[in-house]
Structure 1
Amino acid sequence: MLTAPRRATETESRDPDRPPRLAGRAVLLVAALAALAAGIVVCWSVTVDDAYITYRYSANLADGFGPTWNPGGDPVEGFTNFAWMAWHAPWVWLGVPLPVVSKLTAAACAGAIVWILVTEPRSRTGALVAAGSFALFLPTWIHVDSGLETAPFALVVLRAVVLAARLLRDPDARVRPWEIPALLLLAGMLRPDGVLGVTPPLLVWLWVRRRDRATWLWTAVIGAAGAGYMAARWAYYGHPLPNTFYVKVGVEAATDGRWIQMTAATFLPLLAFAVAALFRARTALPAALALASCTALWIIPALSAPAMDYLSRFAWHGFPVLCLAAAWALDTVELRRVAAGAAAVAVAWTTAAGFLAPDARTLVHYGDDLRRAHVAVGLALAEADVPADRRSLAVSDAGAIPYYSGWRSTDYIGLNDERIAHGANPTDVVLADDPTVVVVTSASPELPPGSWRTDIPRVVGDRELVGVAQMRPAYFQLVYADPDVAPRVRAALDRQLARARAETDSTLEPTWSRWTDRLLGRS
């Protein structure tokens, strides 16, 4: 007598025409949000160096110089997340630290993702596999805290897929005629390749609502807005694509399948469930849509070795969509114990894969390591008693050092230098700029012979070594300064390096015990 009603309830919850009973998921929602919050807190110190590139552009925009690298210089687009950069600018006026703005904004977006993953599946088991896999995945915590646009972008793609999936189930479902085109525009403004992930939902929406005049009207209006945005960027920066594109395309190209293998191994159960959903009539079209969006997002990194793909960052863009597709598959499993067991395996696998990722132990220490090296160097330069007209810097890690120093900076990788990105020899560029300080990234305390096509000894010239900041066992920043200001730069650097050592742990090795000791206040 007790079994039949329970089965009936579960069957009703899997009815594709019946909304899920949210009251029964309150505990899961609270648990998933709590796990997410705990993960964000324990990884709070992590802000990646690339995020400070965006912050520098935001600060210059807020200060009235426009979104450019060096105030008063030729505009250069060294970021790939225009909307994210613009979002941070007003907070500069309010005096809120930009890393805090990034983390809180991304945390809110991650919370919205959890809400969708809990409420959208038709069964509690589906909600469990989706929300559990997402909230307990170590890369989720890192990417939320990283300072980049990763979490907001993933939310935009997930929302577009959800809306299009509703239309596939019910062509008369309530979907605002402007929302999916607007999501396409926002995705493209968050990342240049963002339009790829939202294009499949847009095509679904255009087909299902092809007889609705509002569909084509809003598509035209928002398409015109997108064209205007592209034209304005092109006119301001002088190039159709961000500066980083011209530096990175073709660099470290790798089509040996390593990225695909890593992604498949990390998400294996979720991928298997999503593919299985293709063979059930009820979920075939939504699952095909989800996999199409993931494929569109992943095709570029799959065919290259993208820089800064730490903890499968570019795979993570489609991770929430994959979690939802796996939930749809389990929604159709009538045997509750089988579905629950499959969900437990998927959550356990994904959680373990996050902690076992090759760079996981390095990333949980990233914040402390960056504070001990890059941040300390940047703060020291800002503090050094160097005249304003002499505050010029050349650097390869163009993130926290230029941001905290506030000095005019030459990025000799070329990410933020239009001359180098479009073919100029970086050695010639640095020699022409003649910076007061040159910071060299090296695998040892010794000066390397070259870096990023730059003749390092020639660039350093007769400058004096004023300090060495060690980030990791084989990662150093060597600081060289003009002889006449070297004593002042050295004194400031000594103070900041000592302060950084006092504020961070004394261990450089990336071990789990070091992480737990720091969290428990034992280091």
Structure 2
Amino acid sequence: MLRARRQAADRGQDTGRLSPDRRILLAAALASLAVGVWACWSVTVDDAYITYRYSANLAHGFGPVWNPGRTPVEGFTNFAWMVWHAPWVWLGVPLPVVSKLTAAACAAAIVWVLVTEPRTRSGAVVAAGSFVLFLPTWVHVDAGLETAPFALVVLRAVVLAARLLRDPDVVVSSWEMPALLLLAGTLRPDGVLGVGPALLVWLWLRRSRRSTWLWTAGGGALGAGYVAARWAYYGHPLPNTFYVKVGVEATTDGRWIELTAATLLPLLAFAVAALFRSRTAGPAALVLASCTALWIIPALSAPAMDYLSRFAWHGFPLVCLAAAWALDTVDLRRVAAGAAVVAVGWTTVAGLLAPDGPSMVNYGDDLRRAHIAVGLALADTDLPADRRTVAVSDAGAIPYFSGWTATDYIGLNDGRIAHGADPTEVLQADDPSVVVVTSSSPRPPAASWRTDLTPVLAGRELVGVAQMRPEYFQLVFATPDVAPQVRTALDRRLAEGRAVTDARLDPGYSRWLERVLGLS
């Protein structure tokens, strides 16, 4: 009884408000998050511009398409995120800013949950501290994708189900869990997996209530309607990316599992330990089931764009919270506090030691100097509409900023290639004015993504080379009739890109810190 009162006072439950200590922790956590987001503000990943292109076309009345007037293709996997950005196009707000502010608000909501849900200060410290001091958190908030909103949706569903496990009579609105399932499924196709365990808990514990089944049926009908509408519009049941990636990147060598386990080791260990305490066993089992559902696909594959363990991060707030629940059961406060410090320290260092950490914090500057410069140059070129055609393998910033009709010869945004067409034949048939080749040197490779570049580049001139990193180049080839205009615009934009960035190519933390502190 004394322990329960002590924990209640620690949280401020006896007054209905957070205790002073908890308010200080919340303020410190939000401040840390704000500093991290500010430090990584320049980071917007190339894939985010794919979504922005669909959002812009939707806002301009063309529908959610890659190329207006062409057969629709679903090259994005975040429908709700894409729709969310469309109205901001009308208002003239830069879409990367919309993404960053929205994701930052979602991350702040996650911090609130991680500070207020644990019963003890040590629990709140390990949950919120691990989250806000983890370098990938800052990058994923700023990157432009749906990562943070999706993580918040899953966390909210798990928190609701965990409350029900502790107290079956707790107030949970009947509409909320089906709504979270719908939102998760429209943010990511695999979103239903992450919310699924929480939904099952809610259905079982509220099975006797008529409203439970009415809302579930309504949500199911809306979800089925969404899938049917997508299928009818795009002609395929799954996003285009599925048909390109499945079977190409599959691997079961365990690298993803090993990296995730090493990075989150203390948090995962605490989550497992919580299984052996009666008060936390159910919620901990729910967290581990939800993480398993979220992580089963990346664990059995080598997903593209998994920079800084992005797909593991979907479940990161969950394991932060489960670790907090484990420390809530430790009677010796000093032991709990020491464990919290170790876990936060481990997680912070692991984030900094991530192999792709240095390159990701410099990603924004690198992209501005290369991909964005090329896209802006194409937009500047005064060519008739029928000659504003480009082929790319990095189908993000270049098509978005150019506004040109684009052939994605990886196939992520090209239904022909995704469903079996030879990309070499597709490019020869499209005959784009400009072909942009991703290369590890200033010379083009013989082939790229199943594309034989020799016949594709025949008769085209190399009009510019944009270097992103030491071994990462974008080589711009143009047909002779447009080469002079493209070369002139490209020279200007590449020079501008070098002028507004730090002009360094090394992917080091020192470069990032010097830029953030205004030393370069």
One fold, TM greater than 0.5? yes
- Counterpart amino acid of residue 432 in structure 1: A
Residues 1:36 and 2:33 are matched in the alignment: yes
Question: Normalization by structure 1: what TM-score?
Answer: 0.97
Q: Could you say what secondary structure the match of 1:283 adopts?
A: helix
Change (3 A) 1:29 1:427: same
Aligned residue number for residue 124 of structure 2: 127
Q: How far apart in 2 are the matches of 1:189 and 1:335? A: 44
- Counterpart amino acid of residue 299 in structure 2: A
Q: CA deviation at 1:9?
A: 2.2
Q: CA deviation at 1:520?
A: 1.7
Contact 2:11 2:19 in 1 (8 A): no
Tell me how large the CA RMSD over aligned residues is. 1.7
Q: Could you say what secondary structure the match of 2:429 adopts?
A: helix
Aligned residue number for residue 70 of structure 1: 67
1:491 pairs with one of 488, 511, 520: 488
Q: How far apart in 1 are the matches of 2:6 and 2:190? A: 43
Q: Could you say what secondary structure the match of 2:177 adopts?
A: helix
- Counterpart amino acid of residue 518 in structure 1: R
Q: Could you say what secondary structure the match of 2:330 adopts?
A: coil
Aligned residue number for residue 280 of structure 1: 277
Residues 1:215 and 2:208 are matched in the alignment: no
Q: How far apart in 2 are the matches of 1:286 and 1:223? A: 25
2:399 pairs with one of 388, 402, 423: 402
Q: How far apart in 1 are the matches of 2:436 and 2:146? A: 27
Q: Could you say what secondary structure the match of 1:324 adopts?
A: helix
Change (3 A) 1:5 1:197: closer
1:341 pairs with one of 338, 343, 355: 338
- Counterpart amino acid of residue 92 in structure 1: V
Change (3 A) 1:14 1:493: closer
Aligned residue number for residue 255 of structure 1: 252
Q: CA deviation at 1:178?
A: 0.7
How many residues align? The count is 520
1:233 pairs with one of 230, 235, 238: 230
Contact 2:7 2:119 in 1 (8 A): no
Contact 1:20 1:122 in 2 (8 A): no
- Counterpart amino acid of residue 59 in structure 2: A
Unaligned runs of 5+ in 2: none
Contact 1:14 1:332 in 2 (8 A): no
Aligned residue number for residue 444 of structure 2: 447
Q: How far apart in 2 are the matches of 1:8 and 1:70? A: 62
Q: How far apart in 2 are the matches of 1:297 and 1:252? A: 18
Change (3 A) 1:45 1:341: same
Aligned residue number for residue 115 of structure 1: 112
Q: CA deviation at 1:134?
A: 0.3
Change (3 A) 1:330 1:14: farther
**1:434-476 Cα deviation digits (max 9, x unpaired):** 0000000000000100000000121111110000000000000
Aligned residue number for residue 429 of structure 2: 432
Q: Could you say what secondary structure the match of 2:279 adopts?
A: coil
Q: How far apart in 1 are the matches of 2:269 and 2:193? A: 23
Q: How far apart in 2 are the matches of 1:212 and 1:459? A: 63
Q: How far apart in 1 are the matches of 2:431 and 2:492? A: 26
- Counterpart amino acid of residue 100 in structure 1: V
Question: Normalization by structure 2: what TM-score?
Answer: 0.98
Aligned residue number for residue 99 of structure 2: 102
2:199 pairs with one of 202, 216, 230: 202
Contact 1:121 1:324 in 2 (8 A): yes
User: Which deviates further from its counterpart, 18-27 or 475-484?
Assistant: 18-27
Q: How far apart in 1 are the matches of 2:464 and 2:449? A: 22
Q: How far apart in 2 are the matches of 1:13 and 1:141? A: 29
Q: CA deviation at 1:124?
A: 1.1
Q: CA deviation at 1:491?
A: 0.3
**1:321-348 Cα deviation digits (max 9, x unpaired):** 1100000000000100000000000000
Q: How far apart in 2 are the matches of 1:227 and 1:10? A: 45
Residues 1:509 and 2:516 are matched in the alignment: no
Contact 1:263 1:315 in 2 (8 A): yes
Unaligned runs of 5+ in 1: none
User: Which deviates further from its counterpart, 334-343 or 14-23?
Assistant: 14-23
Q: CA deviation at 1:360?
A: 0.1
Q: Could you say what secondary structure the match of 1:470 adopts?
A: strand
Residues 1:48 and 2:52 are matched in the alignment: no
2:385 pairs with one of 385, 388, 391: 388
Change (3 A) 1:68 1:46: same
